[in-house]
Structure 1
Amino acid sequence: MPGPTRPRFRYDSPRRWGDLDAQGHVNNAVYLDHLQDARVAFLHAGAPGLADMLRTGVLVVAHQVEYLAPVGFGPEPLVVSLWIDALGASRFTVGYDVLDGDTLAARARTTLVPYDLDAGRVRRLNEVERAAFEAYLDPAEPLRPLPKVGVGEGAARYPLTVRWSDLDAFGHVNNVKFYDYVQEARVAIMTAGLDWSAGVVWSIVRQDLEHLAPLDFRSEPYEVATSVVAVGSRSFTLAAEIRDPASGTVHARSRTVAVGPRPLDDAERTALSTWALPDAAGVPQA
């Protein structure tokens, strides 16, 4: 018999008019803001000393987001139900359900590590933190993993300029901004040489991202390299790397799955093949 379900933390996350995209829905990258606000509220509301992680250091190392229903603007906040999905010696995973009224709009996971900013290294969870997290430990159904695929040599390269306002309290680019960067590169591909907007709405249904190195402000651009790694009947999957073109440092890797309301036509498949890996599934090869 399964044990009793542990309590979950509830956060009412206000919607903002500025969060809507060109399709009139909350933009897929904005979901990361709702998750982050809920996570910060959870740390502040936890046991005494738990909020200190926001001062002494805590790093996001990975996100998984599954988008289930579009969310529009309205007076009622989104409800983020939050729990601890996994707990290790020096890392923990936060689980979320994002609810729009009675509709489950998204499911997500964020993996984090406590970090000692003074020493410059990952540290172990202390007894206070572990006890606070154990009270909300409730492993749930895992999200289907997306294969980790490299972008290859023929990837599209999008110049990335970091804005000063992209930085967080630790002086690095905030984790949620990486989804914006991947999105800008994706839109650049989808608007190059083909009118993808002609009456067709392509919905993002899944995005995973791993943070590999901090991204700092500078005047020289970074780049987002993007490749097509798979094409289905009505869907395509992109892999992206956020990297420094000068040093070759990879700061993050991601995968994005987009789905349309109808099968891809020949012109769209040909356009996607421009940036496809040589062995990309379902992509016409030259």
Structure 2
Amino acid sequence: MARHIYHCPLRWSDMDAFGHVNNAVFVRYLEEARIDFMFRLAPGDGSPSFQGGSVVARHEIDYKRPLVHRHEPVIIESWVTKIGAASLTISYEIKDPGEGGQVYVSASTIVVPFDLAAGRPRRITAEEKAFLQKYVDDGTLGAGAERAAA
């Protein structure tokens, strides 16, 4: 099982009055990682996969500890925990680099592919499903599963 790795810089404007990343900013960090995963890494050269639009149906976020301003980026690991006919669930950890890095946030997002022209959800294509399956970890492999940086 592979995990998508995104290096996310912390910006001064991300901080709140207490000097740590504002809780709402973490949603933007997740968005950056998700877009990087789904669009930049979409399969095939010139493939239309994931580019017809998608909407977020749900976010779940567990804030583990405050993240204070620093110059080093955090790592956002993303992987797929569920693929349905017309939705997928992406899970994330926002953490320090390196094995055993401190986790600041654990989260998941349900994403629904969307046909913007028709104004309605659409099914996941075979090409999209094949791409997503490389990143599936439903929790049954255990903590020792190999992780590949994408």
The TM-score range, normalised by the shorter chain, is 0.7 to 0.9
Number of the residue aligned with 1:16: 11
- 2:122 corresponding residue in structure 1: 123
Is 1:53 aligned to residue 54 of structure 2?
Answer: no
**Separation of aligned partners in 1, 2:94 and 2:43:** 24
* Structure 2 residue 33 is matched with structure 1 residue 38: yes
TM-score normalised over the length of structure 1: 0.45
Q: Measure the CA separation in 2 of the matches of 1:116 and 1:27.
A: 33
Match of residue 22 from structure 2 = 27
* Secondary structure of 1:53 counterpart: coil
**1:134-176 alpha-carbon deviations (Å, 9 max, x no partner):** 11011139xxxxxxxxxxxxxxxxxxxxxxxxxxxxxxxxxxx
User: 1:65 matched to which residue of 2?
Assistant: 61
1:135 aligns with: 134
Letter in 1 for 2:91: G
After superposition, the C-alpha distances for 1:180-216 in whole angstroms (9 at most, x for unaligned) are: xxxxxxxxxxxxxxxxxxxxxxxxxxxxxxxxxxxxx
Q: Provide the TM-score with structure 2 as the length reference.
A: 0.85
1:92 equivalent in alignment to 2:91: no
| 1:46-72 Cα shifts (integer Å, max 9, x gaps) | 312666424x11010000000001001
Question: Residue deviations 1:36-92, cap 9 Å, x none?
Answer: 0001111112312666424x1101000000000100111110100000011100000
- The residue number in structure 1 matching 2:111 is 112
RMSD: 1.6
Alpha-carbon distance, 1:22 to partner: 1.1
Q: Tell me if structure 2 keeps the 8 A contact 1:83–1:94.
A: yes
Relative to structure 1, the CA distance from residue 31 to residue 137 in structure 2 (aligned partners, 3 Å threshold; closer, same or farther) is same
Find the counterpart in structure 1 of residue 146 from structure 2: none
Name the structure 2 match of 1:263: none
> Any gaps of 5 or more consecutive residues in structure 2?
141-150
CA distance in 2, matches of 1:8, 1:28: 24
Paired residue secondary structure (1:41):
helix
- What amino acid is the match of 1:22? A
CA contact (8 A) 1:50 1:129 kept: no
Q: Which amino acid aligns with 1:80?
A: I
- Rounded to whole Å, the distance in 2 between the matches of 1:140 and 1:22 is 37
Identity, % of aligned positions: 36
The number of equivalent residue pairs is: 135
- Asked if the contact 2:43/2:49 (under 8 Å) is kept, the reply is no
Cα 1:95–1:27, aligned 2, differ >3 Å: closer, same or farther?
A: same
Give the letter for the 2:27 counterpart.
L
Letter in 2 for 1:131: A
What stretches of structure 1 of length at least 5 have no aligned partner?
A: 1-5, 142-286
| Aligned ranges 1:209-228 → 2 under 5 Å | none
